[in-house]
Structure 1
């Protein structure tokens, strides 16, 4: 039986109010005076959850740090290949393999291809958790994640280039091909961290320097002569097209102006404002017409980009367009959450990934990827909705999020999709706490 709850800043646990909710079973619910129709108007909400859910989230947090995180690189890696203590990340490539670009120039399939995406999600997660719980020890956790971003920005010696991840063996080898997705999540997470009370003055200055380097490199490389490609580590073109930052699809159009806007916001340097203004209007116009067949992770990155732009454009003429676009994406993501949940019911979510050197591993040809992404997509779909502050997170979606969390066994989960589930959970709680 669920209870109305509020987080008490001085407790590291859920404090239960004796307000029993008349439902058929445990649930994660926003309630208001209106019906549960798919209204997109922001309403006052009261979060309802049960201790079982809170306990599961805490276990997933512990597993994130004990199994997916490396204290050597301060990075969260993509999947596990063993549940044996100390062997969880044995599949990660050696320095020689990374230097030889084995198996490819992005490190796809190796487990270190999405570290900057994960870092951005982790920073957002930690900032939201702290806003709810006021746990002071989260300050060190946020700093550890930031150190991972710093390493990806500096290990290779090329200012402004964000590597996907860094080799855990030598702490310096990187795959040469990054992507706009890595930059999007990393900058979004840094922006949230910068504005959080968890971030001290010295770290804020480091963030200013890091983001300025990224924005300056974007300005120098993302030009017509390069087909608006941000280029690989060695300055050559990305042949996959995943580093192009302009003249892109609708869901990608806001990425470049977001990077400039966020950098202007944290530095106050007028040049970044001018660069952001140069791109923002056509980007928002293009964002209004987005094809539906994009993957869920692409829509989450779109929402993250629009969130930053909306914060800076709220009083301007672009604010209503951004808000409407985000609402449209929110409605689409509700369907994605339902679809991921349906798939999760029939998959073995305890499955481990096999070694990429000798098997299909994480590739689309293997049987593991649907398991890995199902967990992640459930979190992505919920988080994409919750980023949109102007829309309700309706009861069916709260139930879907709760089910996705409870479907995962913390002791036998190998997908880093658990960080997306946690991020959605804490953003839901934060929205509840900050509602009037």
Structure 2
């Protein structure tokens, strides 16, 4: 297994991590190293918001999900140099607009300055959690910690300014054009999303000691925790459960009140229960699908989805390619969920191990087209080793 993890790390650093931005890009369209990002939107297309203002389906959609996870991966490995590089990528996306607290998903690796204006609560969640984690890792210098205090304070201030009833509790686009999609709404949201807003305030409070941020956190904390204990009767994608866990885990570690901590501990028990479906689904997909399928160039893709309400046109992967992508993402997200649980409720079961080994057995990262098949297995492995848990 260690040899496979070493191969995953090598492919990740060579193929998906850009030296120009210190950001992780979603996939490669070809195994030809020099052309791997040829289908990314050009700076001119980005200026026109093509394919859509969120960059969905473009190959630079999830920079502020993938790069924060890579930061955690390097923290667990004790690799301070690479952790700092990932932090630089986060800082770039958190400052490039010039609007304090405004986050972008990614930055074009060619010119190092072009970005799409519409982020999401999911991107903010990973960004905030990983900044907070890095702050407490022992790897961040005093100067870097000071920067993180500014970055997390900026997010909290941005939220306080814009998350109001009048805005439908929605963060503005980074270019301040009218928001079209619902993915930056931070309150009166689905149960698994409710703790995002209080988490942002809790992180800012924890690193600054500013009591005002604590008051803002407490304004939402109990209602959000109650919502999290009423998940819908449905299966949730593992990415949604992982993001919910990050919110609950940060709050659980910052909060001192026993009743509120127990409320969020129960949230995390629910996450654990719901995640088993994704564990088994990933194994079933691996059993019945070819996972070495290349994503199409979105410019040539005739299969698109029109997002209800906002009318964003989203280039979509064909169903078999979507499954090839989700297999590696879901199995590894479920494993991270199990490993990241507080020790009091952590349960990395035999079923976790059997299904994980089944999916990973024979995996060839050199032939796989999506970044999640490289950094995610390394993140899981590093977390397990840090906790002295055998996979």
Query: Structures share a fold, TM > 0.5?
Result: yes
* Residue aligned with 2:116, SS: coil
Q: Distance in 2 between matches of 1:372 and 1:212?
A: 35
C-alpha displacement of 1:314: 5.3
What is the alpha-carbon root mean square deviation over aligned residues? 1.7
**1:33-182 to 2 correspondences below 5 Å:** 53-130=1-78, 138-182=79-123
TM-score by length of structure 1 reads 0.83
Q: Distance in 1 between matches of 2:208 and 2:67?
A: 21
C-alpha displacement of 1:156: 2.0
Is the CA contact (8 Å cut-off) linking 1:155 and 1:171 kept in structure 2? no
Matched, 1:417 2:372: yes
- Specify the alignment match of 2:142 in structure 1: 201
* Residue aligned with 1:165, SS: coil
Q: Distance in 1 between matches of 2:236 and 2:213?
A: 30
Q: Which range moves more in the overlay, 246-255 or 390-399?
A: 390-399
C-alpha displacement of 1:148: 0.8
Which digits, 9 at most, give the CA deviation of each residue in 1:337-390, with x for residues without a partner?
A: 111111012222222212110125861445422211221111111112222122
Q: Distance in 1 between matches of 2:113 and 2:95?
A: 9
- Specify the alignment match of 1:403 in structure 2: 358
Q: Distance in 1 between matches of 2:302 and 2:7?
A: 30
Is the CA contact (8 Å cut-off) linking 2:193 and 2:244 kept in structure 1? yes
CA 1:54–1:184: 2 relative to 1, 3 Å:
same
C-alpha displacement of 1:129: 2.1
* Residue aligned with 1:293, SS: coil
Is the CA contact (8 Å cut-off) linking 1:334 and 1:385 kept in structure 2? no
- Specify the alignment match of 2:238 in structure 1: 296
Is the CA contact (8 Å cut-off) linking 1:155 and 1:173 kept in structure 2? no
Q: Distance in 1 between matches of 2:216 and 2:271?
A: 26
Is the CA contact (8 Å cut-off) linking 2:280 and 2:355 kept in structure 1? yes
Q: How many residues align?
A: 375
Is the CA contact (8 Å cut-off) linking 2:237 and 2:278 kept in structure 1? no
TM-score by length of structure 2 reads 0.92
- Specify the alignment match of 1:359 in structure 2: 301
Is the CA contact (8 Å cut-off) linking 1:166 and 1:174 kept in structure 2? yes
CA 1:237–1:387: 2 relative to 1, 3 Å:
farther
- Specify the alignment match of 1:371 in structure 2: 324
Q: Considering only CA atoms, is the larger Rg found in Structure 1 or Structure 2?
A: 1
Q: Distance in 1 between matches of 2:160 and 2:4?
A: 44
Is the CA contact (8 Å cut-off) linking 1:354 and 1:360 kept in structure 2? no
* Residue aligned with 1:215, SS: helix
C-alpha displacement of 1:432: 2.3
Matched, 1:317 2:317: no
- Specify the alignment match of 1:234 in structure 2: 175
Give the number of the structure whose residues are more often helix, by fraction. 2
Q: Distance in 2 between matches of 1:368 and 1:266?
A: 42
Matched, 1:430 2:386: yes
**1:383-394 to 2 correspondences below 5 Å:** 383-389=336-342, 390-394=345-349
Which digits, 9 at most, give the CA deviation of each residue in 1:200-257, with x for residues without a partner?
A: 1111111111111111111101111101001111234432210000010100000010
Q: Distance in 2 between matches of 1:335 and 1:314?
A: 32
Matched, 1:344 2:286: yes
Which digits, 9 at most, give the CA deviation of each residue in 1:40-70, with x for residues without a partner?
A: xxxxxxxxxxxxx111111111111100010
CA 1:111–1:409: 2 relative to 1, 3 Å:
same
Q: Distance in 1 between matches of 2:151 and 2:385?
A: 30
Q: Distance in 1 between matches of 2:8 and 2:137?
A: 23
Which digits, 9 at most, give the CA deviation of each residue in 1:106-148, with x for residues without a partner?
A: 1111110110011221122122222xxxxxxx11101111111
* Residue aligned with 2:26, SS: coil
- Specify the alignment match of 1:39 in structure 2: none
Is the CA contact (8 Å cut-off) linking 2:293 and 2:321 kept in structure 1? yes
